[in-house]
Structure 1
Amino acid sequence: MVESLYLDLKARPDLEVISRLVDPGHRVLDLGCGDGIFLKMLREKRGAEVLGMEISQVEIAKCIANGVPVIQSDLDDDLDFAEDGSFDLVILSQTLQQMRRPDRLLRRLVRVGKRGAVSFINFGHFHCRWQLMLAGSMPRTTQIPYQWYNTPNIHLGTIRDFRRLCKHLGIRIVQEIPIGFSFPLLTAAWPNLFAVGCVFVIERAQ
Structure 2
Amino acid sequence: MMLRPDLALIAEHVVPGTRVLDIGCGDGALMAALRSRSKVDARGLELDAANVAAAVARGLPVVQGDADIDLGGYPDGSFDYAILSQTLQTTRGPHLVLDEMLRIGRLAFVSFPNFAHWRVRLSLLWGGRMPVTELLPEQWYDTPNIHHVTIGDFRAFVGERGLVVEGAWFLGGGRRRGAGGANLLAEHAVFLLRKR
In structure 1, give the amino acid aligned to 2:81. L
Does 2:189 align with 1:174? no
Q: Write the deviation string for residues 10-39 of structure 1: whole angstroms up to 9, x where unpaired.
A: xx2111100011222110110011111321
Gapped regions of structure 1 (runs ≥ 5): none
Q: Does structure 1 retain, via aligned residues, the 8 Å contact 2:72–2:100?
A: no
For 1:28 and 1:108, the matched residues in 2 are separated by 14
Map residues 1-206 of structure 1 onto 2, 5 A cutoff: 5-6=1-2, 9=3, 12-181=4-173, 187-205=178-196
Residues in 2 aligned to 1:54 and 1:102: alpha-carbon distance in whole angstroms: 16
The amino acid that maps onto 2:163 is: I
Per the normalisation by structure 1, the TM-score is 0.90
Unaligned runs of at least 5 residues, structure 2? none
- The alignment partner of 2:7 has SS state of helix
SS in 1 for 2:111: strand
Q: How far off its partner does 1:56 sit? A: 2.1
Deviates more, 1:155-164 or 1:54-63: 54-63
Specify whether residues 59 and 109 from structure 1 end up closer, same or farther in structure 2 by C-alpha distance, changes over 3 A only: same
Taking structure 2 as the reference length, the TM-score comes to 0.94
One-letter code of the match for 1:164? A
What residue identity is the alignment partner of 1:122? N
Larger helix fraction of residues: 1
What is the letter of the counterpart of residue 22 of structure 2? D
Give the alignment's Cα RMSD to 1 decimal. 1.6
1:175, distance to aligned residue in structure 2 (A): 1.1
SS, match of residue 179 in structure 2 = helix
Shift in Å at residue 43 of structure 1?
0.3
SS in 2 for 1:128: helix
Deviation (angstroms), 1:182: 7.9
CA distance in 2, matches of 1:184, 1:25: 26
Q: 1:120 touches 1:200 (CA, 8 Å); kept in 2? A: no
